[in-house]
């Protein structure tokens, strides 16, 4: 059976670290230092940013009560409260609204454009992934937390975010207590196309079926036989239960009535 843990003939320290990623959900009870937090945030900020727009903000949560509340809001995920530091990555066009006042220019159409919405999501995600890599390079573990979008209004209230700021996901960071096995990804040939999107339906399904075997075996080993579902089963089940369908109304209410 093919094993889709990334391996390449071109290994260096950075690629080795990238290919060793696995989410960490159990952390030592030890806070990150100010220097560690600063290195992680500066690394996030160093990411490329569409047209230099820097349309994101990062909120670090140090108040244990707030962390507890966020853990609850994120669907009782204990590691949202129990970690070395908790970051929240927000899409942010608030500062551009201030800029419009400073520069006395009407930018409303841009602020509410689907294009700028996409730009801020892309910017925030790029910054976050840089933060993740920086943290992992310091020997720390990370777990992204999309669960904060279960109750976004309450999260906004807790963080006192202004209009045009949307918390997108959290990131728990800390000293790993327990490491999972690396989770195999789809085969490279399924993800990477050359020159055009390959649409050989038979090969496409075959790749997914092969991957199903790999993932089923991965879960079987990780859970001592308790779980053996395949990736396509997992995806079909997940997509059959629409989630967070309030989001369209939510972003409209938050000053992003997209055009
Ligand atoms: C934006 C985003 C949100 C996520 N939200 C959660 C979450 O709320 N809880 C959780 O345990 N893992 C969360 N994850 C982690 C994914 O489940 C994980 O990355 C995926 O299963 C692959 O596993 P790996 O990171 O160990 O390779 C999230 C990942 C991303 C990128």
The response to whether residue 185 sits with its C-beta less than 6 Å from ligand 1 reads: no
Q: How many residues does the chain have?
A: 259
Q: How far does the centroid of ligand 1 lie from the alpha carbon of residue 23, in Å? A: 7
Index of the ligand 1 atom closest to the CA of residue 25 = 11
* Residue nearest atom 19 in ligand 1 by C-alpha distance: 23
The response to whether residue 75 sits with its C-beta less than 6 Å from ligand 1 reads: no
The response to whether residue 169 sits with its C-beta less than 6 Å from ligand 1 reads: yes
The response to whether residue 119 sits with its C-beta less than 6 Å from ligand 1 reads: no
Rounded to two decimals, what is the model's pTM?
A: 0.96
Query: Is the per-residue pLDDT at 33 higher than 90?
Result: yes
Helix (H) or strand (E) holding 131: helix 114-137
Which one-letter DSSP state was computed for residue 200? Answer: -
* Residue nearest atom 28 in ligand 1 by C-alpha distance: 144
Query: Is the per-residue pLDDT at 6 higher than 80?
Result: no
pLDDT of res. 2: 46
* Residue nearest atom 25 in ligand 1 by C-alpha distance: 23
| 203-243 per-position pLDDT tens digit | 999 999 999 999 999 999 989 999 999 999 999 999 999 99
Index of the ligand 1 atom closest to the CA of residue 180 = 26
State mean pLDDT over 70-85: 98
The response to whether residue 144 sits with its C-beta less than 6 Å from ligand 1 reads: yes
| 167-216 per-position pLDDT tens digit | 999 999 999 999 999 999 999 999 999 999 999 999 999 999 999 999 99
The response to whether residue 64 sits with its C-beta less than 6 Å from ligand 1 reads: no
Q: How far does the centroid of ligand 1 lie from the alpha carbon of residue 102, in Å? A: 39
The response to whether residue 146 sits with its C-beta less than 6 Å from ligand 1 reads: yes
pLDDT of res. 156: 98
| 96-127 per-position pLDDT tens digit | 999 999 999 999 999 999 999 999 999 999 99
């Amino acid at each position: 059976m093919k094993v889709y843990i990334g391996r390449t003939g071109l290994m260096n320290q950075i690629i080795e670290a990238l290919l060793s990623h696995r989410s960490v959900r159990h952390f030592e009870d030890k806070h990150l230092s100010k220097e560690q937090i600063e290195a992680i945030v500066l690394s996030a900020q160093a990411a490329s940013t569409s047209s230099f727009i820097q349309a994101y903000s990062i909120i670090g949560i140090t108040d244990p009560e707030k962390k507890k509340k966020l853990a609850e809001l994120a669907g009782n995920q204990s590691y949202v409260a129990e970690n070395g530091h908790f970051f929240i990555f927000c899409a942010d066009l608030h500062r551009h609204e201030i800029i419009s006042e400073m520069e006395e220019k009407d930018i409303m159409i841009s602020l509410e454009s689907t294009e700028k919405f996409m730009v801020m999501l892309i910017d925030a995600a790029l910054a976050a992934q840089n933060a993740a890599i920086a943290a992992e390079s310091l020997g720390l573990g990370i777990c992204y937390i999309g669960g904060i979008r279960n109750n976004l209004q309450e999260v906004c209230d807790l963080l006192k975010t202004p209009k045009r700021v949307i918390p997108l996901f959290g990131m728990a960071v800390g000293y790993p207590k327990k490491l999972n096995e690396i989770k195999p990804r789809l085969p490279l040939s399924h993800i990477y196309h050359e020159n055009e999107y390959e649409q050989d339906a038979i090969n496409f399904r075959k790749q997914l079926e092969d991957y199903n075997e790999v993932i089923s075996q991965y879960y079987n080993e990780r859970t001592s036989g308790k779980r053996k579902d395949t990736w396509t089963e997992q995806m079909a089940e997940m997509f059959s239960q629409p989630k967070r369908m309030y989001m369209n109304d939510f972003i409209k209410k938050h000053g992003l009535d997209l055009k």
